Chain A
Amino acid sequence: MEEKKTVLSVKNLSVSFTQYERWIKRTTLLAVKDVSLTVREGELVAVVGSSGSGKSLLAHGVLGILPYNAAWSGEISYYGEKLTEKRMGQLRGKEIVLVPQSVSYLDPLMKAGAQIRNGKRDQGSMGESLKTLKRYGLDETVEKLYPFELSGGMTRRILISTAVMEKPKLVIADEPTPGLHLEAAKRVLSHFREMADEGAGVLLITHDLELALEVADRIVVFYAGTSVEEASASDFRDERLLRHPYSKALYMAMPDHGFCAAPGAQPYIKDRPSGCPYAPRCERREAKCLEKVDYVSLAGGMVRCVKAEEG
């Protein structure tokens, strides 16, 4: 089989914020630390992590739309080409698209149709948007609706339509399922699966591991601003195939696998320990877990754990 091209490659990405404490003391907050991942053509990669683990910043970093007080380092490549802020500006909205989370990402005073077409009014775009709406089970009456008139499910499908209109090569979906009932959420995720099957690379950012496993090829587990493991979706069938203690804890917490939550909580990024961020909660922690822990390949995946090889 022919090797699929890598659409997106992120290497050692860190995102930091400059803040002022009590007006005078300048501090740097490292919100995303040393994240690496790749997305290939036709592949759906899910980034799974709890709230506040820095998943959305990863998406904004790739698009070049981080807030003004944020700085990033590391390497982001698109089809092997190293991306600069300028190049990101040329690609975003065309080859790299974002599917955001909720209705608040739509202009409240603009009709849905105009937002799907992004202001284009030519015959071709009109036909295209109608075709896209039909594809997702909506009809032309939706075009005349304002965002406040849309249901949650309609909103998601319209947000997806905005992405599909551009025939993107990389789709970044930032939490596309919250607020939807299970059937609707599954349907929305199946649309992302279709996009991948049509050849695009899809990066799905979510906190819902169970749903992600249904559609994703690979899972990247985020914890406290960094990636702790990259595994194929099939690895999540068996706890022993997982590499990092946090992934194992996630596995155990799933309803089918015991519904058992590990004690403790994700640290606020400011209080993150310097080594493995999970170390304070880990049962198998050792002194060297608190030093720098590298992100290494293991059994076809990646892991950030000094004891991973011991199993």
Chain B
Amino acid sequence: MKSRRSEGKILRFLLKQIIRMAVLLFLVSAAAFFLVSVSPIDPLKVNVGQVALGSMSQEQIAKLSEYWGTNLPPAERFLSWAGDFLKGDMGTSLLYRQPVSHVIGMKLSNSLWLMAVSWLVSGGIGFALGTLAGANKGKAVDKVISAYALITASTPAFWLALVFLMVFAVWLKMLPIGLSVPIGMEAAEVTLKDRVVHGILPCLTLSITGMSNILLHTRGKMIQVMESDYVLFARARGESKSRIVFRHGIRNILLPALTLQLASVSEIFGGSVLVEQVFSYPGLGQAAVTAGLGGDIPLLLGITVISAAIVFTGNFIANVLYGVVDPRMRKGRKVA
């Protein structure tokens, strides 16, 4: 009886989340479509070329415009795109002359591991440093770590990327200057090591800029915990400071930190757009910029929807995790 009721609850929860996601994706794609349709970039001009377009007659242009559907009202175009999207057809990229799903799959596989590594590194190191700083509030180690966090928090990702390029690629010549594989090499010859070496600088940039958020948050939470009654009582019971940090501190700050890090997927995503641009890294971010500048609406919309879905998934996991891990929420729901 009880389990059936909780099963119903889970189903309702999932259904709610799915509806939420659908609404979100609809609104995001509509907004993106609206922005593209008011953009001054003329898809015909971009795709055919200024000169070629100039040499065409008015009838030819009108015919082409009709063929591509650029003369239709925006709402109609959006609905026809959305209808095809629901059927699984994301359209054809104007720039790559390939199905959008194909392009996104390829770019995403380049980007995804980059973002995943940056997300893990910034999360792990940020959490560790934040714990260390918070447990030693006011001491030298805290001041150094806090200063570092504040500086990186106010450093633009693209600027840091340029500095790294200059130092490691231009001056020291230790790492490649860009792209994801060596220039002029056949795809079959590219080794894993090549890929890793090309990913180091973008990863480093993303990790460093993504770290300050979780670091400062963890530090604040840790300070709060160290000033709590239960830590005072732990001290009164003779627990050493390191024991307090590991036994009570981390237990109480891990969950909020994890939630924050999952919710910050969007920031890593946003950062990757800039960083990939600087390093000419052929990932999803760079494809988005190219699509935007080139008036490649199907590709741009496809990327927008996929990114929104990934970010939503991060938040969704954070939501679920809280309910599963925190005994106050888990048991509280059972009682209710």
Contact = CB atoms under 8 A, between A and B. Distances in A.
B331 interface: yes
Given A65-B232, A98-B233, A100-B233, A108 B238 contact: no
Given A110-B251, A146-B331, A118 B233 contact: no
A97 B251 contact: no
B76 interface: no
B144 interface: no
A109 B236 contact: no
Nearest to B326: A109
B143 interface: no
A89 interface: yes
Given A100-B236, A119-B247, A148 B229 contact: no
Contact of A105 (B232, B238, B243, B328): B232
Contacts of B49: none
A107 B253 CA distance: 12
A141 interface: no
Given A93-B239, A100-B233, A146-B327, A109 B228 contact: no
A100 B233 CA distance: 7
Contact of A92 (B230, B237, B251): B237
Size range of the chain A interface in the assembly: 20 to 34
Contact of B235 (A65, A104, A106): A65
A221 interface: no
Interface residues of B, number: 21
Interface in A59-111: 63, 65, 89-90, 92-94, 97-98, 100, 102, 104-110
Contact of B236 (A90, A98, A149): A98
Given A105-B229, A109-B327, 14 more contacts: A65-B232, A92-B238, A93-B238, A97-B236, A98-B233, A98-B236, A100-B233, A107-B248, A107-B252, A108-B252, A109-B252, A109-B326, A119-B247, A146-B327
Contacts of B331: 146, 149
A247 interface: no
Given A146-B327, A146-B328, A106 B238 contact: no
23 contacts: A65-B236, A89-B238, A93-B238, A98-B233, A98-B237, A100-B232, A105-B233, A106-B230, A106-B233, A107-B230, A107-B234, A107-B248, A107-B251, A107-B252, A108-B230, A110-B247, A110-B251, A118-B237, A118-B239, A146-B327, A146-B328, A148-B327, A148-B332
A84 to B, nearest CB: 15
A105 B247 contact: no
Interface of B: 228-230, 232-239, 243, 247-248, 251-252, 326-328, 331-332
Contacts of A132: none
A81 B336 CA distance: 54
Contact of B230 (A90, A94, A104): A104
A104 B229 contact: yes
A100 B238 contact: no
A93 B327 contact: no
A93 B332 CA distance: 32
A162 interface: yes
Contact of B237 (A93, A109, A110): A93
A76 to B, nearest CB: 15
Nearest to B232: A65
A146 B325 CA distance: 13
Nearest to A105: B233
Contacts of A104: 228-230
Contacts of A97: 236-237
B225 to A, nearest CB: 9
A107 B238 CA distance: 15
Nearest to A111: B327
